[in-house]
Amino acid sequence: MANREGGVAVPDAAIRQKYIEERDKRKRPDGLGQFVKLATSDKFKYLQEDPWADHAALNTQTPPLKDGDEVKFLVQGAGYGGLAFAVHLIEAGFKATEIRVVDDAGGFGGTWYWNRYPGLMCDVESYIYMPFLEETGYMPRFKYSYGSELREHAERIAKKWGLTDKALFRTRCHHATWDDVAKRWIVRATEKRGPAEPSREIQFKAQYVFVASGILTNPQIPRLPGFEKFQGEHFHTSRWNYDITGGDPVDWTMAKLKNKSVGIIGTGATAVQAVPQLANWAKHLYVFQRTPSSVDERGQRPTDPDEWANKIAPKQGWQRARSQNFITKLTNVPVEEDLVNDGWCSTDSYCAVIGAPGIVPPDKVSEHITRLHTLDLGRAERVRHRTNDVVKDPFTAERLKAWYPAWCKRPTFHDDYLPTFNRPNVTLVDTDGKGLDAMTEKGVVANGTEYPIDVLVLSTGYSVTVENDSGSPVSRAGMTVVGRDGLSMDEKWIREGAGTLHGVTTHGFPNLFFPGPTQAGVTANFTHTLSLLAFHVANILADAERRVDSTERVTVEVTKAAEEAYTMQILMRSTWFAGFAGCTPGYINMEGARDNETDSQELMKAARAAPWGEGIVKFEEMLEAWRADGKLEGLRIEGNC
Ligand code: FAD
Ligand code: NDP
């Protein structure tokens, strides 16, 4: 029986049956094809334009990287991932002057550059989410920082490590080819210079390339019949248009919405944060829902400086210890004291996404899934019950319940989202898993009814790849990367499936690194993984360069044998993630495509792309042991004269 706090218990089997029924409503034959990727759509590319770049100022700056230049370290991506690579290289002994950062964006921050929607905040405690707090001496203003603070922190990190003038912004890398004679990557990119100047094609050489392009950077919208007829204002949440709403990224006073009928499509993690802000200003807000998010309590509060000084950050090493405590708790390994102690820390079943100690034998998969459901049901029922406690209209409360386990979609935590549905100016338009029917000149059609809309917010998420769906680390960046044997990384992935050493490098692509998450240890705190892998790679390179006479021509490449041996380790542990089968569609399971796969080779390829099944703590221990061994086992280092 499911154990629901303060309510009548419901049989587990009935709930699991309900999960299946709800998932089946949402399965679609078009899968990933239901979306338009903005990056590759001529028709909709206007929705992906950068609203934030200060072209006038950037055009007057001396570019840190020009056509024909050569650089030692090219870091592609100026988010927390790219910054982690750059900082750890410097900490490992390399010079900031040897590094150049390139980003499509007009500034540092990555996710926090592009996303500036009202209500934006991190969902992992900022004390562990924001990297390098100790080194920068910064105290976040809130337990969960808001977007502008997160972006400013990226700038703070860049400044502290001398990277501010090392970044070429508004520049998208599209090709990289390995020159095996020169031992350099030849990178081609397009530098945009705003509406007043033409774009420039540039090419440069790099000894090492780091692809830190993120996984949630490519906005998508649903392919809705009649979209192009819609006459109302509209934008994607990752390119919020404050000219339309009023307000700005810091002051969410959206006074221009006062007389407007506003619609928002989507109820994922983004919408959960934006909806309460829109409801504060819209004359009427329609929330178009296909699948509800699970929304638990947040417990947002300002940072208490005394608590900060005495309890949170009292001594050197506090941030790593706190983050370690969090990731350990999330894999259900007991900790002496739960330091973060928030909603994540009681989401025991989230280990289904991130792994936990113990290998699941293939004949025990079914028991493993049952155990995950047992871990989940009590919490899931409590969170569903919460909608009845908070939302006054029982019909609406019922429709806001998430009928899937915590691992199928990112669980959300928010204090104001559910109460928003008690407001007279807010209507939940639930489509019972169908999604919208169409769009018209005037608005949106759902459940056969046309809703007139003045301003439509597309909170419809991201495509995890750009050009193709190979799933390779560079497909997320929309780059064609051709390695030593003339093979592109996408071709390699499509042919063989994923293959890496430690989730950071792949055979045939020397001196090229990426920060997982494929075949790496993962956790709910994304920056933990990014820092861990950046530290690992920086130390590999420092060690590799110490071993050669000439660092000029050094190459670091995983051998094919080591890649396969490591991939076998991944495969052995991949049964841990069996709980994803049967999940409601979403970007995590390629919109349910995995469930339909019957070809054993394709299933094997999917399994190769799993993260480290025993969880990030064990993964980190494995990396530490590998480094301590001192042999750089599995890597071929060349460069001696
Ligand atoms: P990003 O921050 O995505 O940065 C990648 C950068 O690479 C981008 O600026 C992009 O423009 C650039 N880029 C990509 N391709 C190219 C190319 N070809 N050429 C040049 N530049 C390129 N995670 C959490 O753990 N906790 C959270 O609370 C959290 N909140 C989130 C909120 C939102 C709205 C989103 C979208 C994601 C959130 N995430 C969260 C996940 C978040 O993406 C990561 O935490 C982290 O910021 C990723 O950093 P990154 O540097 O790897 O990628
Ligand atoms: P999601 O992919 O999570 O959500 C997209 C939403 O659009 C879903 O509700 C989806 O419904 C809906 N949708 C798609 N197509 C249609 C359609 N045709 N009709 C109606 N609805 C439709 O994107 P988000 O931007 O919300 O979040 C992406 C990720 O970014 C999160 O998983 C999280 O990792 C991260 N994030 C974290 C945040 C944080 O807490 N700090 C904040 C924001 C994002 P359906 O579910 O049925 O597909």
Where residue 3 falls among pLDDT bands split at 50, 70, 90? Answer: very low
Q: Are 224 and 216 a contacting pair, CB within 8 Å?
A: no
Per-residue DSSP letters for 229-254? G--SEEEEGGG--HHHH-S-SS----
Same domain, residue pair 87 and 185: yes
Say which ligand is closest to the CA of 190. Answer: 1
Phi then psi dihedrals of residue 420, to 5 deg? -60, -30
User: 113 with 260, same domain?
Assistant: no
367 domain residue, yes or no: no
Please indicate whether residue 119, judged by its CB atom, sits closer than 6 Å to ligand 2: no
Whether 201 is covered by a domain: the verdict is: yes
Mutate to test the pocket of ligand 2, among 30, 114, 410 (most ligand atoms within 8 A of CB): 410
Look at residue 540 and tell me whether its pLDDT is greater than 60: yes
The reply to whether 381 falls in a domain is no
Q: Is residue 294 within 6 Å of ligand 2 at its C-beta?
A: no
> In the listed set 458, 474, 502, which residue is the last one of a domain according to the structure?
458
153 and 276 share one domain: no
CATH number at residue 157: 3.50.50.60
Domain-ending residue, one of 440, 458, 476? 458
User: 237 and 190: one domain?
Assistant: no
Look at residues 439, 458, 477 and tell me which one is the last residue of a structural domain.
458
Which residue, by CA, sits nearest to atom 32 of ligand 2? 410
Q: Are residues 573 and 629 in the same domain?
A: yes
CA-nearest residue, atom 2 of ligand 2 = 461
Whether 415 and 473 map to the same domain: the answer is no
Is 405 domain-assigned?
yes
CA of 190 to the centre of ligand 1 (A): 20
For residues 479-506, give the mean pLDDT: 96
Considering the domain architecture, whether residues 132 and 260 belong to the same structural domain is answered as no
The answer, yes or no, to whether any atom of ligand 2 lies below 6 A from the CB of 247, is no
Q: What is the pTM of this model?
A: 0.97
What is the Cα–Cα distance from 194 to 55, expressed in whole angstroms? Answer: 5
Pairing of strands 443-446, 449-452: antiparallel
* Residue 515 sits in the same domain as residue 627: yes
- The interface pTM score, or ipTM, of the predicted complex is 0.99
Query: 46 CA to middle of ligand 1, Å?
Result: 21
pLDDT tens-digit map of 239-272? 999 999 999 999 999 999 999 999 999 999 999 9
pLDDT, average across residues 46-65? 96
Ligand 1 atom nearest the C-alpha of 111 is 2
Tally of domains in the chain:
2
What tens digit of pLDDT does each residue of 182-200 get? 999 999 999 999 999 999 9
* Within-domain flag for 329: no
Closest CA to 235 of 215, 213, 265, 214: 265
How far, in Å, is the centroid of ligand 1 from the Cα of 155? 15
Residues 205 and 142 in one domain: yes
Q: Does residue 499 share a domain with residue 479?
A: yes
CA–centroid distance, 250 to ligand 2, in Å, is 23
**Does residue 312 lie in a domain region?**
no
Q: Of all atoms in ligand 1, which is nearest to the CA of residue 526?
A: 25
Q: What percent of the chain has pLDDT over 90?
A: 90
Among residues 428, 447, 451, the alpha carbon closest in space to that of 437 is found at 447
Q: Is residue 575 part of a domain?
A: yes
The residue range of the domain holding 98 is 65-217+465-638
Q: Tell whether 403 and 492 lie within a shared domain.
A: no
The percentage of residues in the chain with a pLDDT greater than 70, rounded to a whole number, is: 98
Please indicate, yes or no, if residue 317 is contained in any of the structural domains: no
- One domain, residues 494 and 602: yes
